[in-house]
Amino acid sequence: MARRRMDPEKRSFIKGLLEHYQPKDAQDVQNMLKDLLGETLQDMLESEMDEHLGYSKYDYRNKETEDSRNGYSAKTVTSSMGPIELDIPRDRNGEFEPQIVKKHQTDISTIEDQVLSMYAKGMTTRDISKHLQDVYGVDASAEMISHMTDRILPIAREWQNRPLERKYAIVYMDAVHFNVREDNRTVKKAVYVAIGIRVTGQKEVLGMWIGGNESAKYWLGVLNEIKNRGTEDIMIVSVDGLTGFVDAIQAVFPKAEVQRCIVHQIRYSTKFISYKDRKEFVKDLKLVYKADTEEMAVVALDALEDKWGAKYPASVTSWRNNWPQLSVYFKYPPEIRRLIYTTNAIENFNRQLRKVTKAKSVFPTDDALFKILYLAMSEATEKWTGKAWDWGQTLDQLYIYFEGRISPEDIM
């Protein structure tokens, strides 16, 4: 069967693949990708022969050479997905030198891994093409590189839809924005990211969802998906100050405590302060969020309002209005406070995503964006092997504060 050409609408292409191959599990997906890789390589070899001869197969009208095709030689190459059988085209003059799979080359897995690694680090397809030519002498076009990296999409989709843990001690939620082409125009899209800390202390990315502008309604859909993938309970959710976010969380996980990010709140409240007053205002504000108890924090907030409320009402009022979610962390000891008072954990992760994607100002499709985000995520989380800092003591505190919601079986 001839290899299918990549459709501009990648999503339709992937859907067609799944309908054709109907994979049932991860092994079926691997077999599908192996088949696709073999067909892709075969098609690329045929294209190389067309270019070498100067005319396509059966197009004799444009033939301007005495050379011609002369059958095939069977060859088996080793890939990261297993052995692949290829038919290497031959020409009658014996001058054809294939580039994608060179003579005497029997292992292509290194090049595949190199391509994915470079792509995950943010290199463009053109940069990768040049690197392969300079280092390996492989003439791979930018389109060819894109085809290679597209094989990661089914694996990324499977990861995105995998079952999740039944319970998470803490979940951080935030969004990062990218420009994507849609309907012949560039639109800014939010990538919704959720990172969870299991009750066993390990951290994991629950998923990355590409949507329109950041909204509480879309987050509600994300939360419902997390629940549908097996999560029954979340102890604490740390979020930014998006309007309606708290209602969305409590609609899906009604027993979850919601801590609004203190750092986001500080940034918001200080943007109204004139430069000459900012240093003094921040000093007074620090007495609020650095207080040892909520009672002391309320006293400091009253003092802040007395001193600055008339001059900067919006800054002080925002603390008053959001106090129920801003003050949640005061009820916990330092071990838990340190983990929930800010969404820095997810912001650091988002910075890594931006670092990898900075070479691309606009992505052609959602799938092109999701592909590089998945590879960047895989590389960024390789070191997430340990537990959160001082997790033993933190877990003891969680047992007490969330009595009956964490059982010994949950940490086995």
Contacts of 402 (CB under 8 A, 6+ apart): 235
Helix (H, G, I), strand (E, B) or coil at 239: strand
Average pLDDT for the chain: 85
Positive or negative torsion for Cα 60, 65, 66, 68? negative
DSSP 96-156: ---SSS-TT--B-HHHHHHHHHHHHTT--HHHHHHHHHHHH-----HHHHHHHHHTTHHHH
pLDDT above 90 (res 316): yes
Q: What pLDDT, in 10s, does the model give residues 75-111?
A: 888 776 778 889 998 988 888 888 878 888 877 666 6
Is pLDDT of 381 > 50? yes
Alpha-carbon gap, residue 213 to 229, rounded angstroms: 24
Quick one: pLDDT band at residue 276, thresholds 50, 70, 90?
very high
Read off the DSSP letter of residue 244: T
Mean pLDDT confidence for 151-177: 91
Q: What is the pLDDT of residues 30-69, one digit of tens each?
A: 788 888 888 888 888 888 888 887 776 655 556 666 778 8
| pTM listed for this prediction | 0.69
